[in-house]
Amino acid sequence: MMTYNLHTYFIMGSTNANLAILEEALQAGITLFQLREKGKGAKTGDDLLQFAKACQHLCQQYNVPFIVNDDVPLAIALQADGIHIGQDDAHAATVRKQLPHAILGVSAHNKKEIKQAVLDGADYVGIGPIFTTASKDDAQQPCGIETLQALQEAFPRVPKVAIGGITTDNVQAVRATGVNGVAVISAISAADDVKAAVTSLRNM
Ligand code: TZP
Ligand code: MG
């Protein structure tokens, strides 16, 4: 498995952002990248394959692991560095078998889901949404910092990334819980100044 760092994790698809934004984010020092191609106008088929390859190529240039959301066949076709799945996606233990050497991330919302993800072979868990988010249609209710803190204390050694509504205004409170990193879509993809946004998220 490729070494990876959850610290400043950027997630996007062609409906939130584009290759120029990804390259700027890579230049500014994101530590991990996930291609999450969702929503109205999402690419499929060969368009998706070409876009995914372009994202992967950029990530390789900056030595940042390239993770695919949900799409196991795409992750296999591209030999992606990792795969991230939610509770409603393929079973984590099955994905672990299909991609034995990939970084495996699993979204989890409570102690039970974290325990199961670890048993299934997850390398890290994604916890969220922490705050209200406009970037995920089927997001659960925000869990808040206190729940994040409690999950961190319950499983201090399980690598965790917090997600959902994280911005330069609240990232310090999220990092103070001791989680390994923060994952964002809009704080980077919709920033007026992508470089400044990444730099702030990284340094806070
Ligand atoms: N999973 C939980 S919240 C979320 C995902 C994919 C969306 C995060 O987007 P943003 O814009 O950083 O709130
Ligand atoms: Mg999913």
Q: Which of 96, 97, 136, 200 is the catalytic position?
A: 136
CA angle (118, 76, 121) in 5-degree steps: 10
Question: From atom 6 of ligand 1, which residue's Cα is the shortest distance away?
Answer: 136
| Ligand 1 lined by 129 (C-beta under 6 Å) | yes
145 within 8 A of 173, measured Cβ to Cβ: yes
pLDDT for 1 equals 85
Q: Which of 14, 107, 189, 200 is the catalytic position?
A: 107
Global pTM reads: 0.98
Spatial distance between the Cα atoms of 192 and 187, rounded to a whole number of angstroms: 10
| Ligand 1 lined by 184 (C-beta under 6 Å) | yes
Residue 35 Cα distances to 116, 131, 157, 162, 185, angstroms: 24, 21, 26, 17, 10
Q: Is 43 a catalytic site residue?
A: no
Q: What is the pLDDT along the chain (204 residues), one digit of tens a residue?
A: 889 999 999 999 999 999 999 999 999 999 999 999 999 999 999 999 999 999 999 999 999 999 999 999 999 999 999 999 999 989 999 999 999 999 999 999 999 999 999 999 999 999 999 999 999 988 999 999 999 999 999 999 999 999 999 999 999 999 999 999 999 999 999 999 999 999 999 999
| Ligand 1 lined by 183 (C-beta under 6 Å) | no
Spatial distance between the Cα atoms of 48 and 130, rounded to a whole number of angstroms: 29
pLDDT for 40 equals 92
Q: Which ligand is nearest to the CA of 13?
A: 1
Q: What is the CA radius of gyration of the chain?
A: 16
Which homologous superfamily does the CATH classification assign to the domain defined by 8-203?
Aldolase class I (3.20.20.70)
| Ligand 1 lined by 13 (C-beta under 6 Å) | no
Q: Is 107 a catalytic site residue?
A: yes
Spatial distance between the Cα atoms of 168 and 57, rounded to a whole number of angstroms: 28
Spatial distance between the Cα atoms of 103 and 4, rounded to a whole number of angstroms: 8
Q: Which ligand is nearest to the CA of 87?
A: 2
